[in-house]
Amino acid sequence: MINDDYLLAALRLAAGNDPIPGHVSAAARNAFKLRVPKAATASPAPCRAMRSARADDDSHLVRFTAAGLTFELEVTMGDGLIDVAGHISPHPGEGALVDVKTPHLTLTRRIARTGYFAASGLAPGWLSVVCHRPGHAPVQTRWVRIRP
């Protein structure tokens, strides 16, 4: 029978001899690149159900809130790609920009005076939206997975 001291000593010895697999290190580095330094993270918020005007329209509405901002995103699937029509309220200020991000692509858009922005032709998968306001920390929605 092995006592706890021998087991712990064996684990310590084994830990030094077993390198982290390359794919695990690469996945960790890729995940780290997705963060936005000093950003406040907007959490999902309840929203009323949205009915589409067209029966074949595959869209839904998601809402996030943080740092005094509300993000409303209408995500539409079509032809294997996703389109995002968004609204940020209250208006984040003159010169504010929004990044619509996927793990492989970032589309930067100006925010209209009405608070609206749009991005189209994104691949299905993970999506996040970041609002950059002059003089304030960025606000980023949580990553959501959009599936066909």
In the Cβ-directed half-sphere of 20, how many Cα atoms lie within 13 Å? Answer: 7
Q: Using CA atoms of 104, 109, 111, 117 in order, give the dihedral in degrees to the nearest 10.
A: -70
- Confidence band for 30, pLDDT divided at 50, 70 and 90: confident
Q: Using CA atoms of 23, 29, 31, 33 in order, give the dihedral in degrees to the nearest 10.
A: -150
**The pLDDT of residue 51 is above 60:** no
Q: Give pLDDT, residue 117.
A: 97
Give dist(CA 70, CA 77) in Å, integer. 23
pLDDT tens per residue across span 104-145: 899 999 999 999 999 999 999 999 999 999 999 999 999 999
pLDDT tens per residue across span 57-108: 567 889 999 999 999 999 999 889 999 999 999 999 999 999 999 998 999 9
Highest mean pLDDT (candidates 27-36, 46-55, 101-110): 101-110
Q: Tell me the domains of the chain and their CATH numbers.
A: 4-33 (no CATH), 40-146 (2.60.40)
Q: Give pLDDT, residue 116.
A: 97
**The pLDDT of residue 29 is above 50:** yes
Give mean pLDDT, residues 24-28.
78
Residue predicted with more confidence, 133 or 27: 133
